[in-house]
Structure 1
């Protein structure tokens, strides 16, 4: 077969690109880590158990007590499992607990926004209150309570579901009046009930995916409307005496949250000044760049909602539920988007899908490879850690690194290729003769501790990373 000059050039370019994309076993890749160059502080990792998923853990479908303890330890115990430090609660807005609804602390319209509210508290909160107790006893540090919607009677559509706007925000009025202050009081009262019952809510939110009129609890908002309410909520929190930080706005995608930033920063009294954390989800668009704010940012919800439960696949073809896919999502969010927190949608549930990290099918506890990918970060990158400079010489070996309060450095290497790669890791300030602990997750291993490595003179150590694998290296 005869090739034209252009065809030959295209073939050669493709060959060069292929060789460059997949290093061979004899390739030597260099990684440099510099603890002196530091970036964002890490708040932690976690998930939610909203919409009665907490009850799945406590035996709603028959999970025995011994397995209830197992899943709690896997999620929240640092020594035994992932050591998640952030739990995202759903603040209920429904007047029923049927199906998966989250019940409201004010299920009945009191008669108007200025009427005396009739709050109720069951010390259960769709299973979320006892879950928070158990999580705190195992090391939880942050409890983020977030409302998917205000109660229906506070909204323009008079409905808990299907969107609608909070009565009183810009361009949205109701015949019943302005409910912004009543909604702020409602949220603060929820936090107060927890506080009085011995559990501390640390962060408070009032929106979830405000671009999406879902058929379940949902409420619409743009940035300007969110800003209207933030100013009211901030004053209410300040007067309450509770130590609450305010989050916003849990947009359905990272781009959607960026689109809300202008409204949050506008006006003579910018609402952004009252926020502690800016929050977004990854569904419509992933966190691959920093949001335009100097506030901390969290990725507070994302999951594979497309397929059947695939617990044992770290890598097959790059599918949306695979472990390596999520290891990449987390690394990119921390490294490129500068996030301080990363949360999956559900921690554990009885389901046949990938919407949770751990499945409780048939009364068993089945961690997915996604769970172990999260654990590679959450177990070794603790709250208060700082992301530090880490650079790889090859695009197919990605790297991130973090320095903890205790001086321990956790460096994650992800081999995206099909072959082993040999790596020289150079660490500024690393002494020779120190032990480096490698932990690997891939199709064959779940956070398996490998043989220790001894650092050489000049602050370096040599490693071989298997194909389609994630290895975390711990050293001081």
Structure 2
């Protein structure tokens, strides 16, 4: 059930005030009284956008479904455990942060609370940081965390490493606001490129050239220097340590954002052999620094992971194969990898499940622009542990974005910033009124993020029926969370069956609804999740 990304009506920021008291703990007294003398209580909420956001549904009890006819049935198999939930959130890229800081302090706190507060907001809880400049920024120039002063050629001792620009641009301040309203928020980070001096072309931005014999296909000229693999790993360690000094734990890094992308914004090619060596170097440096930071491999499109019949795809699954020269074993790299990260811009999302099954590694969706809650549900059913939205705050004109699809190495970046616009993101900041609006999808996304917690384990469940799709998680030993999407124009009655118990709920038309209940599942129905 993948809904198209047509823009929905924006909801005024003042919606937050009306939502106070509708979080997971609301209505607890009523729930306790309803459960007296019955089986396990099933409580729920639903959203159809800002007009009906996180509204309570009528409670019912497990075991109360006998004899009722329904429109759809969800059968949950607790013996078939899948991935662990990691989180839902968005990137803290420079453009998004810059627009948030055009609001008044009160409005800025209000929008952050609406986005991340698990009780009074959507509960978004997983955020992507950028190590240096990403591909889209408002304020030039692009930067790394180890730019050199004039006259300096190299910095293998990383004496010039600094996150001062992250501080100056309010990235750290924004993280602290998020932590205030969601103390359980987690953070991971990606670099788009190594610092210029670590690259063969000595430039931080990308550089492209036509492939031999082609007039349309390009390749990335800027490559990681072989003699800079170890220092690039130490650069990553420095970033994690610098953020830790500000009270921010970066719990994972991706090896590199979209390695080898043929673009002129910040990017870098890194061969499979280099990726293997870099992965081992990063984990070695993490251990030396006593960091338990995880490492995500790939961080690129579905298409680029595996397509053996194509010469265009990069087939990066080969990082887990033995190096031809015997210098690195596939097992070493597999042991270094904690997860495989994907982007959805090209290829089949089924690749996530294939990678999960083939490698035994968790998969994470680390960048997407698809706001559809239907896509979140579908991707979670394909074993994605997280869902991270990219560059989700712009202004009323679509922002000032120094991003381009052009392959012109001499691009005029000022002209790019004046013409490139990304409207209709999650948050729109009006720079004239100092106010904001949010997309309706935020509230439906909250039907996942408000009620799921990191470590919750997905259980295999039956496919969609009559417009009703589902994803089900186990939270702790005896707590369960089911998110149901109803794409129909009418309400749907749904029977949920788990380990011999069942109950019937009504999912409002065009909504996403979340149901929570406790139920003891015998040990012979259980299985271990990865």
TM-score, scaled to structure 2: 0.67
Aligned residue number for residue 441 of structure 2:
370
Aligned residue number for residue 232 of structure 2:
183
| Distance (Å, rounded) in 2 between the aligned partners of 1:70 and 1:425 | 37
**Contact in 1 for aligned 2:143/2:204 (Cα 8 Å):** no
Aligned length: 387
**Contact in 2 for aligned 1:51/1:101 (Cα 8 Å):** no
Aligned residue number for residue 54 of structure 1:
97
Aligned residue number for residue 275 of structure 1:
337
Counterpart check, 1:239 vs 2:285: no
| Distance (Å, rounded) in 2 between the aligned partners of 1:466 and 1:224 | 52
Counterpart check, 1:471 vs 2:513: yes
- Report the Cα offset of residue 366 of structure 1: 1.6
Counterpart check, 1:424 vs 2:498: no
Q: 2:278 aligns with which of 203, 226, 229?
A: 229
| Distance (Å, rounded) in 1 between the aligned partners of 2:482 and 2:124 | 18
Select between 266-275 and 67-76 the one with higher mean Cα deviation: 266-275
Q: 1:285 aligns with which of 336, 347, 359?
A: 347
Larger RCO, structures 1/2 (Cα 8 Å, 6+ apart) = 2
Aligned residue number for residue 343 of structure 1:
388
| Distance (Å, rounded) in 2 between the aligned partners of 1:293 and 1:356 | 34
| Distance (Å, rounded) in 1 between the aligned partners of 2:118 and 2:509 | 28
- Report the Cα offset of residue 345 of structure 1: 0.9
Unaligned 5+ segments in structure 1 are 1-25, 170-177, 305-320, 430-458
Q: 1:68 aligns with which of 88, 91, 108?
A: 108
| Distance (Å, rounded) in 2 between the aligned partners of 1:333 and 1:74 | 24
- Report the Cα offset of residue 196 of structure 1: 2.3
Q: 2:161 aligns with which of 119, 129, 135?
A: 119
Counterpart check, 1:254 vs 2:302: yes
- Report the Cα offset of residue 47 of structure 1: 0.9
Unaligned 5+ segments in structure 2 are 1-68, 207-219, 307-314, 399-421, 519-530
Q: 1:168 aligns with which of 225, 232, 249?
A: 225
Aligned residue number for residue 13 of structure 1:
none
| Distance (Å, rounded) in 2 between the aligned partners of 1:404 and 1:101 | 45
CA displacement, residues 287-315 of structure 1 (integer Å, 9 cap, x when unaligned) = 234123211110000105xxxxxxxxxxx
**Contact in 2 for aligned 1:287/1:332 (Cα 8 Å):** no
| Distance (Å, rounded) in 1 between the aligned partners of 2:168 and 2:364 | 24
| Distance (Å, rounded) in 2 between the aligned partners of 1:425 and 1:269 | 46
The runs of 4+ residues in structure 1 deviating greater than 6 Å are none
**Contact in 2 for aligned 1:247/1:275 (Cα 8 Å):** yes
TM-score, scaled to structure 1: 0.74
CA displacement, residues 125-172 of structure 1 (integer Å, 9 cap, x when unaligned) = 632222222222322442111101111221122221124444334xxx
Aligned residue number for residue 208 of structure 1:
257
